[in-house]
Amino acid sequence: MPGEVGVGDALVTSQPGMFVSIRTADCFPILIADPEKRVVAAVHAGWRGAISGICSKTIQAMERSVGSHPNDLLAVIGPGIAECCFEVGPEVAMQFEPFVEERTRIDLEDVIYNQLCRSGLLRERIVKSGICTCCEGEMFHSFRREHEGAGRSISAIGVLF
Ligand SMILES: [Zn+2]
């Protein structure tokens, strides 16, 4: 049913004509498609989502609900805050591997990419944008750069027919 489902980290649909979308400003939009089972998913992952394994959970949900095979899936990791701009304090850094207890930069895109690979997606079927939302101010909204006034970028995916 069209409308807003409120705050969530992942949306999955197989209904023709229906699009699922997410709004981000530095967090990563991940769009996943299963051309065999005709199912799509839109995932929103900040560092907390990445640590909680939101992509793996979404893929598991696709496997459970419609019998998706991970090696059939296509995924795009859209623009988010890249390693160049994502510096975190020790309290966040220590939650990522390899564990460090000091200020450091985190490559969330790579964390998400590796998670998709561990879930069984084929490397050649995962596309990384490689774009930093914080550096690319002309094109993307960034919470870190614009703070509370930041707009949001919209990523959407659907099953057309
Ligand atoms: Zn950057």
Instruction: Kindly give the distance from the C-alpha atom of residue 134 to the centroid of ligand 1, in angstroms, as a whole number.
Output: 5
pLDDT of amino acid 136: 83
Distance 152 CA to ligand 1 centre (A): 17
Model pLDDT, residue 1: 44
pLDDT of residue 36: 96
Residues 39-69 pLDDT 10s = 999 999 999 999 889 999 999 999 999 999 9
Residue 83 scores a pLDDT above 60: yes
Span 1-13, pLDDT tens digits: 455 555 568 899 9
Evaluate whether residue 125 is within a structural domain: yes
If one counts the domains in the chain, the total is 1
Residue 78 pLDDT class (50, 70, 90 cuts):
very high
Q: Is the pTM of this model over 0.85?
A: yes
Q: Residue 30 Cα, ligand 1 centroid: separation in angstroms? A: 18
Residue 4 lies in a domain: no
CA of 2 to the centre of ligand 1 (A): 35
Residue 41 has a CB neighbour count (10 Å cut-off) of 24
Q: How far is the CA of 130 from the centre of ligand 1 (A)?
A: 10
Query: Is 3 within the bounds of a domain?
Result: no
Distance from residue 29's CA to the centre of ligand 1 (Å): 16
Flag whether 83 is in a domain.
Answer: yes
Give 100 Cα–ligand 1 centroid separation in angstroms.
Answer: 21
Q: What's 99's domain CATH number?
A: 3.60.140.10
CA angle 101, 102, 104 (to 5 degrees): 120
Confidence at residue 113, expressed as pLDDT on a 0 to 100 scale: 96
Q: Report the distance separating Cα 72 and Cα 124, nearest Å.
A: 11
Q: What is the reported pLDDT for 98?
A: 74
Instruction: Provide the 10 A C-beta neighbour count for residue 119.
Output: 20
Give the lowest-confidence range in 36-50, 101-115, 133-147. Answer: 133-147
**Is residue 1 domain-resident?**
no
Q: 65 lies in which domain range?
A: 10-158
How far does the centroid of ligand 1 lie from the alpha carbon of residue 80, in Å?
Answer: 9
Structural domain contains residue 111: yes
In whole angstroms, give the CA distance from residue 16 to residue 68: 17
Peptide bond just before 70 cis, omega within 30 deg: no
83 Cα to the center of ligand 1, angstroms: 7
Averaged confidence pLDDT in the chain: 91
Identify the weakest region by mean pLDDT among 8-12, 34-38, 124-128: 8-12
- Calculate how far, in angstroms, residue 112's C-alpha sits from the geometric centre of ligand 1: 17
Residue 99 has pLDDT above 90, yes or no: no
Can you tell me the distance from the alpha carbon of 62 to that of 57, in angstroms, rounded to the nearest whole number? 9
User: Which residues neighbour 145 within 8 Å (Cβ) at sequence distance 6 or greater?
Assistant: 134, 137
